[in-house]
């Protein structure tokens, strides 16, 4: 590409960066600025390769340096980074990636139905999925009048540490499996969904469906929701490779990886809460049902509000404010 054509193709983007540096414009979306910076460094790399002694290269080198200093060095932010992450960044990612969240939910829900139907049609399916040892132990617990006594067999602290780290590991695996063009993530969602459907049908056959539901979902509401969200992070990663849209595959992957990592980081507190509930609350299988249901519906309300409702409201507010300005 001739230098004149190179300048003509990219000058509008460089002008946008100059406006930001001159404070004549601002980016409410930090991802947009990061995206612009990545493109600018690509332009600089290209210019250094083909026009090493050109004034264009000197200009881009200076511009890139200024953006770097503005973004990474001058860090007196109006809001603390952590506060901003939870209140703005993560909900904005949920809204921007709502398609992947929906797909992840649908895949998981279909998998639950497969687990239910397969268990109903084949009596040996439950042992195949849950394992003989778990099934035999649970049958013994049912005979003894405490179907979910499994949650009482381990020390609370040890159980909390084991479950929490395992859930974080599963979420990270769901995310990284997206590198297999989303297939790995889909397989993990299918496996967990089938297991859940099989589990509930097992108790349904023994007239213990509501009892198992009201106990398991004390921690399961947050835990299962978090697995679905982690699945969405994996789909974001995989789809960035399959469908880069107007970006190069490298740029698409970098943007998706950043969003996915933020989602996984955002899930850690949820897994800690789920681990705490499973280790210290679910074990009280004889609690009054209304307490169980209060915890379940409170957890579900929070998930729906923070992952769906609040991001929509935040997006609408930003659109309104941009029109006002």
Name the residue with higher pLDDT: 57 or 170.
Answer: 170
Q: How far, CA to CA in Å, does 105 sit from each of 100, 235, 252?
A: 9, 11, 23
Assess if residue 10 is contained within a domain: yes
pLDDT, residue 192, reads 97
- Tell me how many domains the chain contains: 2
Percent of the chain with pLDDT over 70: 90
Has residue 247 been placed in a domain? yes
Nearest residue to 253 via CA among 45, 100, 245, 64: 245
Q: Are residues 233 and 170 in the same domain?
A: yes
pTM score of the predicted model = 0.77
Written as six digits, the tokens of 128 are: 């195949």
Examine the domain organization and report whether 191 and 318 are in the same domain.
yes
Q: Cα(241)–Cα(249) distance, rounded to whole angstroms?
A: 6
In residues, how long is the chain?
325
Higher pLDDT, residue 201 or 286: 201
Please return the burial class of 129, using the count of CB atoms within 10 Å of its CB with bins 0-12, 13-18 and 19+: buried
The three-state (H, E, C) secondary structure of 53-78, written as one string: CCHHHHHHHHHHHHHHHHHHHCCCCC
Contact present, 260 and 236 (Cβ < 8 Å):
yes
Helix axes 249-280, 209-242, angle to 10 degrees: 160
Of 154, 131, 190, residue with least CA distance to 278: 154
Residues 222, 277: contact at Cβ < 8 Å?
A: yes
In a domain, 153, yes or no: yes
- Name the least confident of 43-47, 174-178, 295-299: 43-47
Alpha-carbon dihedral 84, 89, 90, 93, rounded to 10 degrees: 170
Question: What is the SS3 assignment for 104?
Answer: helix
Q: How far apart are CA 203 and CA 309, in angstroms?
A: 33
Shared domain for 11 and 101, answered yes or no, is no
Q: Kindly report the number of other CB atoms within 10 A of residue 205's CB atom.
A: 13
**Do residues 197 and 164 both lie within one domain?**
yes
* Position 316 confidence tier, pLDDT thresholds 50, 70, 90: confident
How many other CB atoms are found less than 10 A from the CB of residue 91? 22
Q: Please, are residues 65 and 57 in contact by the beta-carbon 8 Å criterion? A: no
Same domain as 67, residue 132: no
Q: Please give the residue that has the higher pLDDT: either 232 or 3.
A: 232
Pull the structure tokens for residue 85. 């992450």
Over 90: is that where the pLDDT of 141 sits? yes
Same structural domain, 126 and 228: yes
Write down the pLDDT at residue 276: 97
Task: Answer yes or no: is 130 within a domain.
Answer: yes
Residues spanned by the domain of 134: 86-324
Distance CA 155, CA 177 (A): 32
31, pLDDT greater than 70: no
User: Which of 74, 100, 116 is the last residue in one of the domains?
Assistant: 74
**47 plus 105 within the same structural domain:** no
20 and 115 housed in the same domain = no
Is 189 within a domain? yes
Q: Number of helices and strands (H, E) in the chain?
A: 14, 0
Q: Are residues 51 and 116 in the same domain?
A: no
Residue that terminates a domain, selected from 74, 106, 122: 74
Q: Is the pLDDT score of 61 beyond 90? A: no
| 159-172 residues labelled b (16+ CB within 10 A) or e (exposed) | bbeebbeebbebbb
Residue 29 has pLDDT above 70, yes or no: no
Classify residue 81: in a domain, yes or no.
Answer: no
pLDDT at 64: 82
Domain assignment of residue 103, yes or no: yes
- Which residues lie below 8 Å from residue 113, measured CB to CB, with a gap of 6+? 197
95 and 37 assigned to the same domain:
no
Asked whether residue 79 is assigned to any structural domain, the reply reads: no
Q: How far apart are CA 83 and CA 89, in angstroms?
A: 9
DSSP state of 206: T
Asked whether residue 135 falls in the same domain as residue 195, the answer is: yes
Domain end among 14, 43, 74: 74
Is there a single domain that holds both residue 70 and residue 93?
no
Residues 6+ apart with CB under 8 A from 62: none
């Amino acid at each position: 590409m001739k230098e004149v054509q190179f300048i003509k193709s990219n000058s509008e983007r460089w002008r946008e960066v100059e406006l930001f540096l001159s404070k004549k414009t601002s980016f409410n979306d930090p991802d947009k600025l990061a995206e612009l910076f990545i493109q600018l460094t690509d332009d600089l790399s290209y210019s250094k390769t083909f026009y090493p002694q050109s004034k264009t290269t000197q200009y881009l080198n200076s511009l890139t340096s200024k953006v770097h200093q503005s973004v990474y060095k001058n860090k007196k932010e109006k809001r603390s980074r952590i506060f901003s992450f939870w209140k703005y960044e993560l909900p904005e990612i949920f809204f921007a990636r709502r398609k992947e969240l929906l797909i992840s939910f649908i895949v998981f829900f279909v998998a639950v139905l497969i687990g239910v139907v397969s268990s109903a049609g084949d009596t040996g399916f439950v042992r195949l999925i849950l394992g003989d040892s778990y099934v035999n132990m649970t049958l013994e617990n049912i005979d003894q009048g405490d179907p979910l006594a499994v949650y009482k067999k381990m020390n609370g602290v040890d159980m909390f540490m084991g479950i929490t780290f395992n859930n974080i590991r599963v979420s990270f695996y769901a995310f990284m499996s997206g590198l297999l063009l989303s297939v790995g993530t889909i397989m993990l969602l299918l496996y967990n969904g089938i297991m859940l459907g099989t589990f509930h049908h097992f108790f349904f056959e023994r007239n213990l469906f509501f009892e198992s539901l009201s106990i398991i979902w004390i921690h399961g509401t947050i835990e299962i929701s978090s697995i679905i969200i982690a699945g969405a992070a994996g789909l974001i990663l995989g789809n960035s490779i399959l469908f880069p849209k107007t970006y190069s595959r490298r740029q698409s992957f970098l943007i998706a990886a950043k969003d996915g990592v933020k989602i996984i980081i955002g899930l850690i507190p949820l897994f800690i809460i789920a681990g705490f509930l499973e280790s210290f609350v679910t074990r009280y299988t004889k609690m009054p049902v209304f307490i169980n249901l209060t915890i379940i519906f409170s957890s579900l309300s929070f998930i729906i509000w923070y992952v769906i409702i609040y991001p929509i409201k935040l997006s609408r507010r930003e659109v309104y404010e941009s029109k006002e300005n």
